[in-house]
Amino acid sequence: MDHSLKIAVWNVRGLNARARRHAIRTLLDTTGASLICLQQTKIELLCSSVVHDTLGSKFDDYTYLPAQGTRGGILLAWKSRAVSISDPLFTNDAISARVATVGGTPWWITVVYGPQDDAAKIAFLEELHEIRADCHGPWMLCGDFNLILRSEDKNTDNINRRMMGKFRRLVNDLALKEVYLNGRRYMWSNEQSPSTLVHLDRVLCTSDWEDGHGECHLTCLASVVSDHAPLLLDCAPAPMLHRRFHFEEHWMRLDGFHDTVAAA
């Protein structure tokens, strides 16, 4: 288990504004995160001076996916004394890399910023299938997927059920689980009245990743500089007396599932 690893995940809506860069630095200083995954940098050529001004000198290594004009862009940065990142893979809407910590089992991380157009969303879901084919072993995905998994992920009835179904099928096909989010249902607001609130930002993982990080704790933090709230994944929380149980649909496709249930 990665006892000292804390991961911050945030769609920050651009790194050009000094107020946003200051908010990110404050987030890192207060949480002690060693790995940060930023979406929507909105910067095509991300220079080291901007990275260091945003994150501070302790984040001494990084890789990034350039923005397409002023859209998108992903920054993955880390403290090399706490975590090692290698073998980066760059695709249209994601960065994937191999993560290793002292005493921990290596695993893969994929940081995503999902597109908004429906046709592009379908290509994005296929992209995730292809990433999994290249990333063997424990795997964790995080970021703004721009998709919902269930109707409760939105506070209105204006739901694209076709795309929701496609996302659910991907999660089931890849045998992914959602890391439970403590304390908050929605991470995005349209900041209007009446408000539209949506759960777009999430953390997904494979069972073998969860087995190695079973006590991780995911929380949502406050923000005044972005319409998305940041997430903090803490892999060293206080021990839980009882693990939260979730039924996963893909279990029903496993060999022996129905026999095991019948015999219980």
Strands 181-182 and 84-91 turn out to be unpaired
Please give the single-letter amino acid code of residue 80: S
- Among the listed residues 206, 185, 181, the one whose alpha carbon sits nearest the alpha carbon of residue 195: 185
Cα-based distances in Å from 62 to 58, 65, 150, 181, 246: 11, 11, 34, 27, 35
Confidence (pLDDT) at 3:
55
Check pLDDT > 80 for residue 117: yes
Average pLDDT over residues 115-141: 97
Which is higher by pLDDT, 9 or 69?
A: 9
Question: What is the pLDDT confidence band of residue 198, given thresholds at 50, 70 and 90?
Answer: confident
Side-chain half-sphere exposure of 159, counting CA atoms within 13 A: 19
Mean pLDDT of 46-56: 95
How high is the pLDDT of residue 195? 74
CA distance 217 to 246: 15
CA–CA dist 57, 33 (Å, integer): 13
What are the structural domains, with CATH classification, of the chain?
6-263 (3.60.10.10)
Q: Are 24 and 37 in contact (CB under 8 A)?
A: no
Q: How confident is the model at residue 259 (pLDDT cuts 50, 70, 90)?
A: low
C-alpha dist (Å) from residue 41 to 16, 20, 94, 162:
8, 10, 13, 29
Is 80 exceeded by the pLDDT of residue 243?
A: no
Using 50, 70 and 90 to split pLDDT, how confident is the model at 255? low
At residue 237, the pLDDT reads: 40
Confidence grade of residue 223 (pLDDT, cut at 50, 70, 90):
confident
**CB atoms inside a 10 Å sphere around CB 240:** 10
Question: What was the pLDDT predicted at 241?
Answer: 40
Q: Mean pLDDT, to the nearest integer, of 137-161?
A: 91
Mean pLDDT, the chain, as a whole number?
A: 88
| Whole-number pLDDT of residue 240 | 46
Name 259's Cβ contacts closer than 8 Å, sequence gap at least 6.
Answer: none
Query: Cα 79 to the chain's mean position, in Å?
Result: 18
- Mean pLDDT value of segment 85-99: 98
Indicate the pLDDT class of residue 249, thresholds 50, 70 and 90: low
More confident residue, 258 or 92: 92
Residue pair 84/108 in contact (Cβ under 8 Å)? The answer is no
